[in-house]
Structure 1
Amino acid sequence: MGAVVVDDNGTPLPRGKVGELALIVPSIGLTRGLWRDPARYIESYWSRIPGLWVQGDFASVDEDGTWFIHGRSDDTLKISGKRTGPAEIEALLLATGKVAEAAVIGVPDPVKGSAVVCVCVPARGVVPTPEVVQALKQAVAAGLGSSFRPKSVVFVDDLPKTRSMKIMRRVVRAVWVGDAVGDLSGLVNPEAVARLGDPGTRDEPV
């Protein structure tokens, strides 16, 4: 298939390094376009690294030639030059037992480039307090390093989800940074989007 793992400039990476999954030669299964939207096809798959078809996933290949997929690259957070996936941070939050659901997003930061914001639904019986916030921030820092210590941890009653109960981080981030939220027809709870924009939602417990 001509699949390679490359860096942001399209340079192939050595075995064991995580980078963009890309195709350098045509494949019989390669998407040829999007129905009535050729511009979106070019933007989605061909614009990130000129000349390469970019899947939008992070991948690596070990010394034995086994391939590994590490999650969506468009979801990946790059903090102070280091990368991680939001799912890794969410797993650390959930492991504390203080959070029932979480959506981790990256927001612009003048120092780090991006900063971590955690939008959480508290676990049953947990009252959000400054102590809970600090415990969650410490759990992330202990698990991934101080660079990934969240800038903010806030709490909501619900997070926007698809009918398959997938949390829509894209929508959470769009509301947070003031971007257009896009198509919400696939959400099972669109009312959660409106509540994300309620006054006080961005404030940590005091």
Structure 2
Amino acid sequence: METYFSRWPGVWYHGDWARADGAGQWYLLGRSDDTIKVAGKRVGPSEVEAELIKHPAVVEAAAVGTPHPIKGEGLTCFVVLKNGHPPSDALREELKDLAVQYLGKSLRPDEVKFVRGLPKTRSAKIVRGAIRKIYLGEEIGHMDLSSLDSPEHLQSIREAV
């Protein structure tokens, strides 16, 4: 409990982006620690992922922010392809262009990596924090991965990097 109330006294900090509409309905938009800031523009990973999965070859995708020497953060995307769609440089460029078409030039992914699967929790949430740490060559041993449903996909990320 201390973790949730220690940031601001009397206020519960849960780490999710949320908004309320005029009717009092609340919407959870994603994790606040997943927000990516590319060249001063804030984007949620799900916004990028939603565009990538529009491609007929893509089953699912994960986007993470990675260090960029000019923009501060860049986008690195991990993509799972449908059966019968082999990875290729041409497909990689198509996916980058697709992101530009819907999100703008500044949010063009720097890298697109093809993987067999994405690490997810039992509730089907993509474990982007672990993906990012693996990409950066950092240890993930201290992370709580007890709810991970697909630990074998951590290796798929390692192999793609």
What TM-score, normalized by structure 2, do the two folds share? Answer: 0.84
Matched, 1:100 2:59: yes
Q: 1:60 deviation in Å?
A: 4.5
Deviations 1:151-199 (A, max 9, x none): 000101121122233221121111111223222222222122123223x
Which one of 124, 127, 149 corresponds to residue 86 of structure 2? 127
Pick the aligned partner of 2:155 from 189, 194, 201: 194
Matching residue within 137, 148, 152 for 2:111: 152
In the alignment of these two chains, the number of paired residues is 157
CA RMSD of the aligned region, Å? 2.2
Structure possessing the higher relative contact order (Cα contacts under 8 Å, 6 or more residues apart)? 2
The DSSP-based 3-state class of the residue aligned with 2:78 is strand
Counterpart-to-counterpart distance in 1, 2:56 and 2:5: 39
Inter-CA distance 185–68: structure 2 relative to 1 (3 Å threshold): closer
Give matches, 1:56-205, under 5 Å. Answer: 56-60=15-19, 64=22, 66=24, 68-181=27-140, 182-198=143-159, 201-202=160-161
What's the CA shift for 1:55? 3.8
SS at match of 1:108: strand
Give deviations 1:139-159, integer Å, cap 9, x for gaps: 111111111100000101121
Cα distance in 1 for partners of 2:116, 2:149 equals 15
Q: For residue 196 of structure 1, what is the amino acid of its counterpart?
A: I
Q: Alpha-carbon deviation of 1:122? A: 0.9
Which residues of structure 1 form unaligned runs of 5+?
1-32
Q: 1:100–1:124: 8 Å Cα contact kept in structure 2?
A: no
Where 1:165 maps in the other structure, the secondary structure is coil
The residue type paired with residue 71 of structure 1 is G
Q: Distance in 2 between matches of 1:185 and 1:55?
A: 19
Using the size of structure 1 for normalisation, the TM-score is 0.68
Q: Distance in 2 between matches of 1:156 and 1:197?
A: 9
Shift of 1:51: 6.4
Greater per-residue helix proportion: 2
Q: Percent identity?
A: 39
